[in-house]
Structure 1
Amino acid sequence: MSFLFKSSPRPKLTPSELAKAIKESFLALDTCTFAKALEEVQKNILSMRQMLSGDGEVEPNEDHISQLAVEICKGDVLALFIHKLPTLSWEARKDLMHCWSSLLVQNCCVEYIENNLELVDFLVICYNNKEIALSCGSMLRECIKHPTLAKCILESNSFELFFKYVELPNFDIASDALATFKDLLTKHETVVSEFLISHYDQFFELYEKLLTSPNYVTRRQSLKILSDFLLESQNLQTMKRYILEVRFLNIMMTLLKVHDFSSYFYNSSFTRLLYIS
């Protein structure tokens, strides 16, 4: 007879109701009933994930997904997702990451972030918070899939922080920051080409520090990324300008003298840079 005491399943909410419930539960995290609010947040995030991706038995409804995305933007819930990230449990953050990638498929969510770029800056700065750094990195890479957002990040003041983050002592965070840094410089050729032309001196002065870093991994990975974006056809003029500058050519030649790096040069397309010079 124990089945008589089982709690009834949570009623299905409409997209509008779910967006409202999510917002209210996130706002309640600032109240004295934090523990109860956090439990409600986790339930609502799970409900959102099921609406966005299905529950394994029922496929997601595209109309519901669109409606939910619109309501989330109207209620500034995307901003709450980011600002309340440090207060969430690991499990809640994991579900939220899944929802974030699904929501950013919707144009309204991308446009919302474009109009609230301080949210992107917040995500970049949160690489300093080891508890949520990897979650923020994942959210940033979802943003970078969109050319407009990638351009905004490249041109923001916070972009320079990546030159610091890739050398953080925490290997996992540094590796994640490097993955985000690479996506920024390789995902969208036109965006990157325009950025390199307009920020040439500032960018390569910072990049020089990576290529001459005392950290072997930093030098090797930054060299690989450099070859990836400079050898794109749209960066031909930037590549020629770069390799014809004596100080940068000297760095390449210095790296060439190192045994491990010489094998990299000879076995990669990066030799084209030296050939042009």
Structure 2
Amino acid sequence: MSFSFFKPSRPKTPQELAKAIKDSLMALDTKTVAEVKALEKALEEVDKNIMAMRTMLSGDGEVEPNMDQVAQLTLEICNEDVISLFIHKLPILGWEARKNLVHSWSTLLKQKVDSVCCCVLYMENHLELLDFLVVCYDNKEIALNCGNVLRECIKFPTLAKYILESPSFELFFKFVELPNFDVASDAFSTFKDLLTKHPPAVSEFLTTHYNEFFEQYEKLLTSANYVTRRQSLKLLSEFLLEPPSSHIMKRYIAEVHHLKVMMTLLKDSSKNIQISAFHIFKVFVANPSKPREIKIILTKNREKLLSLLHDLSPGRGGEDDQFEEEKEMIIKEIERVSRLPNLN
């Protein structure tokens, strides 16, 4: 006869697990830093529950997740307002809990219940949570976790559109230049996703906020930080040259001020920045409907521009035929414009 004093605990149902997660997160409110032991115990309970959630959503490496349980857990997490707790409690969760939560977030957002992504719907009804996540870039302890959560949200057009239109979007112009390189790089990744993932929404945003946006963006293009200048220049060509933004591009390349910025970047000490600047500068020059003001600037700066362009090379250790062809075309166009009457 064998006796078992320790019966294995019965796995929680999705409903029980959602409630356990909620209760353990809410219990953190009752613990203060002074109660170190009690707080540690409460955080351990949160860790255990979030790990159980990750296992139910993704399996354990040996057993595949039960999709009925996944759907039920997702629904219960929304119904119990657990998502709000997830996000607001991020700053006090331990490293392991944050990692498991971020891992689970993508599955939760994509999971459909009766053909509805209920976690996306929850976020649409609690948009202030997106602002909270953006502001968390100011907290380097959780900035990378929040960045991961935000980028998963940005995959959905309604959530990306909200962030673009929110006052918190302006914070990215600060966050991409934070002194912590990892945080600044992560913020730039999120910033890039906001400006490239959903071109129609970006086009609409730029149409409405053209002046404010490009005034701020110019500060990135002329930043003292090399990485900021290079990344911003590359990103500009990505979202400016998208078909839905063609009217924005036409407006941009018709303004002398923006042309002067590109001409300055053509003189940058970095070969990479010179090349990236050229690919935007050439659009100003090749524009068949160049305004008179643009033609005047090109004419006045003809000698300097031609000298810069003649010395410009791809710098990849080999010839780039397409680059050379484009450069030759731009040189010829500058020479043609400078011969036009009544521009001097």
TM-score per shorter chain, which class?
A: over 0.9
What amino acid is the match of 1:62? M
Q: 2:146 & 2:169 partners in 1: Cα distance?
A: 14
**Alpha carbons of structure 1 residues 4 and 60: separation in structure 2 relative to 1, 3 Å:** same
How do 1:3-14 residues align onto structure 2 when only pairs under 5 Å count? Answer: 8-14=7-13
CA change 1:86–1:205 in 2 (3 A) is same
How far has the Cα of 1:167 moved from its partner? 0.5
Partner of 2:319: none
Per the alignment, residue 162 of structure 2 pairs with 152
1:272 deviates by 3.4
Q: Does 1:239 align with 2:244?
A: no
Q: CA deviation at 1:8?
A: 4.7
| TM superposition outliers: structure 1 runs of 4+ over 3 Å | 7-10, 268-274
8 Å CA contact 2:55, 2:65 repeated in 1: yes
Displacement of 1:274: 4.4
More deviation in 36-45 or 159-168? 36-45
Matched, 1:131 2:141: yes
Q: Deviations over 1:186-221 (max 9, x none)?
A: 011111111111111111111111111111111111
Task: Decide whether the 8 Å contact of 1:28 with 1:34 is kept in 2.
Answer: no
Q: Which of 169, 172, 175 is the matching residue for 2:179?
A: 169
Stretches of structure 1 lacking an aligned partner (at least 5 in a row): none
Q: Which residue of 1 aligns with 2:18?
A: 19
Give the deviation of 1:135 after TM superposition: 0.4
Q: For residues 179 and 8 of structure 1, what CA distance do their matches in structure 2 show? A: 48
Aligned-partner Cα distance in 1 for 2:127–2:136: 14
Contact 1:227/1:270 (8 A) holds in 2: no
Match of 1:48 among 41, 49, 53: 53
2:23 partner SS? helix
Match of 1:82 among 84, 87, 91: 87
CA contact (8 A) 2:140 2:183 kept: yes
Report if aligned partners of 2:105, 2:149 keep a CA contact under 8 Å in 1. yes
Q: Is it true that 1:121 corresponds to 2:131 in the alignment? A: yes
1:262 corresponds to which of 274, 296, 301: 274
- Residues of 2 paired with 1:14 and 1:270: CA distance? 60
Answer yes or no: is the 8 Å Cα contact 1:239–1:273 preserved in 2. no
Higher relative contact order (CA 8 A, sep 6+): 1
CA distance in 2, matches of 1:16, 1:154: 35
CA distance in 2, matches of 1:9, 1:186: 50
Q: 1:54 to 1:269 in 2, by over 3 A?
A: farther
Structure 2 match to 1:272:
283
For the residues of structure 1 that align with 2:106 and 2:208, how far apart are their CA atoms? 31
In 1: Cα distance, 2:25 partner to 2:69 partner: 21
What's the secondary structure of 2:106's corresponding residue?
helix
TM-score, normalised by the number of residues in structure 1: 0.94
- 1:274–1:42 distance in 2 versus 1, CA, 3 Å: farther
Aligned pair count reads 273
Deviation by residue 1:155-188 (Cα, 9 ceiling, x = unmatched) = 0010000000000011010000000000000011
Q: How is 1:169-208 mapped onto 2 (pairs within 5 angstroms)?
A: 169-208=179-218
Residue in 2 that maps onto 1:57: 62
Structure 2 CA distance, aligned partners of 1:188 and 1:224? Answer: 18
Which structure has the larger Rg over C-alpha atoms? 2
1:9 CA drift (Å): 4.0
Once residues 101 and 171 of structure 2 are traced to their aligned partners in structure 1, the CA distance between those partners, rounded to angstroms, is: 25
Deviation at 1:270, TM superposition (A): 6.9
Taking structure 2 as the reference length, the TM-score comes to 0.76
Deviation at 1:117, TM superposition (A): 1.0
Shift of 1:63: 1.7
